[in-house]
A and B are shown apart, each in its own frame.
Chain A
Amino acid sequence: MSVVEAVAEPAHPLLEMRGISKSFPGVKALDGVDVALYAGTVTALIGENGAGKSTLVKVLTGIYQPDAGDILVDGAPVRFADAQAAMRAGITAIHQETVLFDELTVAENIFLGHAPKSRLGLVDWAAMRARAGALLHAIDAPISPYARLKDLSIAQRHLVAIARALSVEARVVIMDEPTAALSHKEVEDLFRIIERLKGQGKAILFISHKFEEIYEIAERFVVFRDGRSVGAGRLAETGQDEIVRMMVGRSVEHVFPKAEVAIGGPVLEVAGYSHPTEFADISFTLRRGEILGLYGLVGAGRSEFCQALFGITRPSAGRLTLEGKALAIRSPQDAIAAGIVYVPEERGRHGAVLPMPIFQNVSMAVLGRTTRAGFLRLAEEFTLARRYAERLDLRAAALSVPVGTLSGGNQQKVVIAKWLATLPKVIILDEPTKGIDIGSKAAVHAFMSELAAEGLSVIMVSSELPEILGMSDRVMVMREGRLAGIWERDGLDAETLVRAATGNA
């Protein structure tokens, strides 16, 4: 630590972003953000999922071009036409899921796209291996440049990704959730490397959800919320509570409607639900007419748990009781028959069959009801589809157009319609409003209240705190595959949930 403290922080930022904005159809991902990075300094970028962090990284690395705003390197404005240009300017990133190639060697992965060339213009393999070896040595990574990537552990792959990031003359290193998949020991190794990079005068942007790590490694911070930079400063002068408030900082009551609904008796009781690798010992009771929010960081095991409830994966231990009767769910068919349905997070991949018409998607899980002796009755299917389309205020040209032609919000309505048609008792919604426009979002929220009022029990997985706080009767938090706590809505604040989710008591 003493080395770092001896280096005085420079007065002028190495890299500065001023008023950067970036919009996508229906979403303003970045809205005039300011970020400054200093040489020899780690700056933590903090914010909820969807606050605009990943978009910022993509703008900084030349993958996206900003709609407005300036990027300055050493005070001079620059413009990155593509990823290569950003790399030449010395900006390099280790992404959440760095793209590496299993079948290539470590050296090839490190130098892919900028391999050293011989005079004939061919790849200079000897130089490439030597330089890869030197880079790996420089970060104390005991990995052979000849090894194939597929033979390495996740942590070793990470080191290769870091070596790759340093293989260009990097001045700015962006690390996007670098510790997400690492063990405690591996995180310590990573931090040693970061200290060394600091010593070399590199500016580091460190993105993480975990407060203990941020306070351990970073000197400065920037907080993002809804695509804006809402706070920045030195961590030594700023408490965790203050940062959590900046992350959340808005009154949620006005954004999300949750009608008051009389909560009934227990419907679903889960006891000691466990999975070999993803989650362990989850127990709770879901009541009639209740919306139970399930909050947690990405990778906390929320989707995996919900998919086990729905029979996609099988639990290794635990009991389920639905309306007083013991239940064994081994497949989605079992779950649907019992009245438990799941609206998955990845709408296009798991939720809807996009090339097929709306009415066929709606009837997909209830073909037993719309057919007679196995024969389709199209009139029944159209009637069913129309009933739910009107109820959900679906916007479509016709019920026979492919679901893929609809907007994200309307696709989500089709998936929800499919499950309502099964007349479920419990509906699990996994990030139900992710990536859909504001209008549809409000419609989905209003509809969830309506369902609860009709006596349905809802489990809502969400990474958006306002949604969780606005919609839930109770909130359950998962952290690293375990239950971190369950809270009643009354008097619950965002800070409590963030602390529980990040393990920062």
Chain B
Amino acid sequence: MSTMPLDKPTVRRIPDKLSTPTARLLGSWESLLAAVAIAIFFANSLASPHFLDPWNLSDATYNFTEKAMIAFAMTLLIISGEIDLSVAAIIALASTAMGAAAQMGFGAPALVGIGLGAGLLCGAFNGLLVARIGLPSIVVTIGTMSLFRGIAQIVLGDKAYGGYPADFAWFGQGYMSDLSWWPSWHAFEVVTFEMVAFLVFALLFGVLLHMTAFGRRIYAIGNNAFAAEFSGIPVRRTKFVLFLLTGLMSGVAAVCLTSRLGSTRHSIAAGWELEIITMTVLGGVSILGGSGSIGGVVLAAIVMGLVTFGLGLLNVPGIVMSIFTGLLLILVIALPIVVRRLRASS
């Protein structure tokens, strides 16, 4: 620093960081989640002899992969201070669009394009209302939640679309070992396409959020949108892109889910928005915006998947699982606030 034109005799050297990376990692929410995931894994394997079967475990991943792919985009959106409650309704609309196209005889590639396109359009609509007109996202997406699913309901009524082309089934039901380039080792046989998609998207969103300027700007916007605006960050454009991304990922989930079920009803993915937001918040994303990580959400997805699967093995009815999701949501939102209060009062 000898080039600095300083007349002060001594320059205080400020360290980059105070704590070591290991110390920060150990004290983090992510470590706690990892511990919980391991504990549930062991509890499950004790509770049911069927749990450790590789094919069972592979099936179990469907409990979270599709939801988690949306949760990744939701993570970015919630960190920026917005929310999208219409994601499950986007699945319904995108799935209906694909079903209608399938009736008209379109092939698998076209159906995928239609599913993703429908997701993008819905995301763009949300984004326009929030970022351009400036409406609160919670209100906008409660509205579009009814709107998108309402359209699906009008189109479908009590009917269901089926008759998807045979090769379309692979996205939701296929194994990677169906592909010629996939290593033919025994342990890799059970890996599904969705599992790989989940990991790839986790990586992509993780890099986007934690390693790029775009991700940094999301944190700045979520922590103080005014200061972000005053720092020359295009706040509205960034938020629009995030709604677009969330819509796109809902489209991706719609392709996977429709392919897996092989049919579309208007009630498809009902109530998923709540599970996706629970997953995001459980992953350590502040519901008030400004903080959170993709790593946490990946772990939260696995925790929720393991719990759902474990309860399923124990023959716990679905309604109990939904009670569990509700309680979990309240708990993970309340926990950080209660902890902060306790710290402040002590």
Whether the pair B16, A399 counts as a contact (CB closer than 8 A) is yes
A32 adjacent to chain B (CB < 8 Å): no
- Please encode chain A, from 317 to 355, with 1 for each CB lying within 8 Å of some chain B CB and 0 for all others: 000000000000001110110000010100001111111
Whether the pair B11, A390 counts as a contact (CB closer than 8 A) is yes
Whether the pair A342, B16 counts as a contact (CB closer than 8 A) is no
- Please encode chain A, from 349 to 373, with 1 for each CB lying within 8 Å of some chain B CB and 0 for all others: 1111111100110001101100100
| Distance in angstroms between the alpha carbons of A359 and B4 in the assembled complex | 19
Cross-interface CB contact of B232 among A365, A390, A401, cutoff 8 Å: A365
| Distance in angstroms between the alpha carbons of A387 and B1 in the assembled complex | 8
A391 adjacent to chain B (CB < 8 Å): yes
- Please encode chain B, from 212 to 241, with 1 for each CB lying within 8 Å of some chain A CB and 0 for all others: 111111011001101111111110000000
For chain B, residues 289 to 306, give those with C-beta under 8 angstroms from any C-beta of chain A.
Answer: 290-291
| Distance in angstroms between the alpha carbons of A241 and B293 in the assembled complex | 63
| Distance in angstroms between the alpha carbons of A401 and B24 in the assembled complex | 13
Cross-interface CB contact of B213 among A354, A374, A382, A418, cutoff 8 Å: A374
With A376-B211, A391-B4 already in contact, the answer to whether A356 and B220 are too (CB < 8 A) is yes
- Please encode chain A, from 392 to 423, with 1 for each CB lying within 8 Å of some chain B CB and 0 for all others: 01111111110000000000000000100000
A15 adjacent to chain B (CB < 8 Å): no
| Distance in angstroms between the alpha carbons of A386 and B14 in the assembled complex | 7
For chain A, residues 226 to 253, give those with C-beta under 8 angstroms from any C-beta of chain B.
Answer: none
Nearest-neighbor residue (CB-CB) of A346 within chain B: B226
| Distance in angstroms between the alpha carbons of A354 and B225 in the assembled complex | 12
Instruction: Give the distance to chain B from A350, nearest Cβ to Cβ, in Å.
Output: 5
Cross-interface CB contact of A353 among B6, B18, B224, cutoff 8 Å: B224
Chain B residues with CB under 8 Å of A397's CB are 14-15, 18
With A332-B229, A387-B1 already in contact, the answer to whether A353 and B220 are too (CB < 8 A) is yes
Cross-interface CB contact of A333 among B211, B215, B234, cutoff 8 Å: B234
Most B CB within 10 A of own CB, among A353, A364, A399: A353
Whether the pair A374, B14 counts as a contact (CB closer than 8 A) is no
| Distance in angstroms between the alpha carbons of A399 and B17 in the assembled complex | 6
Instruction: Give the distance to chain B from A110, nearest Cβ to Cβ, in Å.
Output: 32
Whether the pair A364, B224 counts as a contact (CB closer than 8 A) is no
| Distance in angstroms between the alpha carbons of A386 and B6 in the assembled complex | 14
Most B CB within 10 A of own CB, among A331, A386, A396: A386
Chain B residues with CB under 8 Å of A393's CB are 8, 12
Whether the pair B6, A391 counts as a contact (CB closer than 8 A) is yes
| Distance in angstroms between the alpha carbons of A207 and B274 in the assembled complex | 54
Q: Give 6 A-B pairs besides A395-B12, A401-B18 with Cβ atoms closer than 8 angstroms.
A: A353-B224, A353-B231, A354-B224, A367-B213, A390-B4, A391-B6
Q: Enumerate chain A interface residues (CB-CB to B < 8 A).
A: 310, 312, 331-333, 335-336, 342, 344, 349-356, 359-360, 364-365, 367-368, 371, 374-376, 382, 386-387, 389-391, 393-401, 418
Cβ contacts A to B, 8 pairs, < 8 Å: A355-B291, A365-B231, A371-B213, A375-B212, A387-B1, A391-B4, A393-B12, A401-B18
Which 5 A-B pairs rank lowest in CB-CB distance, beginning with the nearest? A367-B213, A336-B232, A332-B232, A353-B224, A398-B18
